Amino acid sequence: MTSYDDENPYRLAGPSRDPFPRLNSSTSSLGRRNSSPRLQVTPIEEQRYPMTEIIKARLSASQHGSEDAQRAMTSDNVRRTLEPMTIDENPPVNDEEPSTVEYLTGLRLGLLIGGLMLGMLLFSIDRTIISTPLFGRIFVLYSIKWSYLIAMIIFELGSLLCGLAPNSTTLIVGRAIAGFGSAGILVGSFVIVNKAVPRQKVPIFTAVVGLMFGVGASVGPLLGGVFTDLVTWRWCFYINLPLGAITIICLVLFFNPKRRERTTRTLLDRFKDLDIVGNILILGAFVMLFLALEHTTRGFSWNHPLIIWLLVGCGITTIIFMGWQWAKGDAALIPPRIIKQRTVAASCGSAFMIYAVLINLTFFLPLWFQAIKNETAMRSGVHMVPFFVFQSVFSLIAGGIVSKFGYATPPAVIGSAIGTIGLGLLTLLNPNTTTAQWVGYEVLVAAGFGLSIQQCFNAVQTMLSGSDDLPLATAAVAAAQSLGGAIFVSVGNSVFQHQLMKASTANLVPGIDIKQVIAAGATAFRDLIPAEQLLAMIQVYNKAIQTVLIVPIPLGVLATLIACFIEMRSVKPPKTNEESG
């Protein structure tokens, strides 16, 4: 007996005696088997059509099947079907690998993963948070392959516009376009990995693709300095073009997922399902939040009317957005039932904290090298290499551990705990800290959070493997991750400047204008300070950075605690009776 095609509920995959062949026991998001029969209805389908219309559509479609199927459609069958028709509060999860799926292997898999790695490298250099939820919706409604390719093309066009920019306005527009595309690159990379390899191998290949994030974060500033010194700053954007082209070629040639059956729904219908209103609301909230944070780093106090109005506007818009999402239900930009799933919620929370820690360190550790150790921007970038290398290596090790033993929760918890210990040690940095000491502190933090950084994605991929909700959950984790980084860089800046201004109020360095010191930057401020006061100013600067480095410690603790709520679900397929016997 054949069944209705999963991609097109209105089309029979073949003759069947059962007009509702999906009327079987289903698996909940926690892996339990439900005893009551349910008619599986996709979230978007349920939103677009009332329940009775779905039944009519399927009855109409079945008329093109066999005569036996038509005779089976009695009114009693319809009545029994309508009674239990509900949608699981939690998204369905498949414990078993689909037997008909063909996964990539060998050279084709290697080239595809290599292309995704280049895509992740580009994202790590030009990352954004604004459009990641939108791309989660896009990957549900449209072709995964072509959605990723279009995102890459948008990123390339934005990079080209930046490289050719004749003025700052054009550069800003180009950056916005490239940022929109890079959000699709991030979400799409994880979704494609989940489709290209068996579930048990997803963690290791996720780590391989994520490896390029550390590479991009460490190599990007160095390449930027080289291009600026030797050629022109425009090559910081031109370099994206050949790398993106390689990724596009790899995707076109080697990633050919099962094509979705054609549906009666038009492109306009699917465009309406993107939740444009939700996108506008969340964009407005983010813009107001970041404007407020940016102005605090430019000398505005937190009680300034502009800052207050921006934060109030952000709060009101966020509340409206949440109400809109609740009203939209499964058709929302971020469906409430996705966030209510325990593992997805815990993964979002932990990712928010971990990324806030890492971005904070990637900004203020180089500042410490420049201001306290009197290193150039290039040398401070070199000093960050151990941090990114160990973060990438331990991320790869964690991916192997999860693929081998099956569980993402232990490395998420243990890694965050180890990293938090390293954060405490970083607060000991001072002008007399030796190279061995600061390298050791860097390595401990990087190794710890390297173990945990990818586990949030691994957890949702394991929990929602085979579900259409996977792109939505992946986008939610990515948005939470990037939001944490964006917020706490601004928070760190505010704390840093506040500490320096306190030194001015206390007159710790008499006769020195602290505002001029801040404006001069981490290396040039030495030229403003008389020799007899330089040591005192360095101590003040070091104290301010130490205070900033205290901020990530509670975030690391919270990341550890929240990770404990990630469900212990194995990435391995269940053993058969023969294997268990």
- pLDDT tens for 31-76 read 333 444 444 444 444 444 444 444 444 444 444 444 444 444 444 4
Q: Is 521 left (phi over 0), alpha (psi -120 to 50) or beta?
A: left
Question: Based on the number of CB atoms within 10 Å of its own CB, is 536 exposed (0-12), middle (13-18) or buried (19 or more)?
Answer: middle
Q: How confident is the model at residue 20 (pLDDT cuts 50, 70, 90)?
A: very low
End-to-end CA distance of the chain: 31
Q: Which tokens is 95 given?
A: 């414990």
Residues counted in the chain? 581
Q: Which helix (H) or strand (E) holds 24?
A: strand 23-24
- How far is 419 from 365, CA to CA, in rounded Å? 15
Here the tokens at position 321 are 């957005």
**Helix/strand/coil for 33:** strand
Greater pLDDT, 508 or 6: 508
CA distances from 228 to 234, 236, 286 (A): 8, 8, 31
Q: Which two tokens stand for residue 213?
A: 């994030």
What does the domain layout of the chain look like in residue ranges? 1-92, 102-257+266-274, 344-569
Q: Is pLDDT of 81 > 60?
A: no
Across 27-41, 66-80, 267-281, 528-542, which has the greatest mean pLDDT?
528-542
492 closest CA partner among 425, 534, 553: 553
The answer to whether residues 184 and 147 touch, using CB atoms and an 8 Å cutoff, is yes
Cα 562 to Cα 150: distance, rounded to the nearest angstrom: 35
Amino acid at 168: S
Q: d(Cα 574, Cα 93) in Å, to the nearest integer?
A: 13
Topology agreement, domain 102-257+266-274 and domain 344-569:
yes
Strand partners for 121: none
Strands (E), 207-271: none
Beta-bridge mates of residue 33: 27
Enter the tokens of residue 490. Answer: 């601004």
What is 344-569's CATH superfamily? Answer: MFS general substrate transporter like domains (1.20.1250.20)
pLDDT 10s digits, 171-216: 878 888 888 888 888 888 888 887 887 877 778 787 777 777 666 6
Question: For residue 254, which of 98, 115, 153, 117 has the smallest C-alpha distance?
Answer: 115
Which of 1.20.1600.10, 1.20.1250.20, 3.40.50.450, 3.30.1280.10 is the CATH number of 102-257+266-274? 1.20.1250.20
* Lowest mean pLDDT segment, chosen from 24-28, 412-416, 505-509: 24-28
Neighbouring residues of 69: CB distance < 8 A, sequence distance ≥ 6:
12, 15, 16, 17, 18, 19, 62
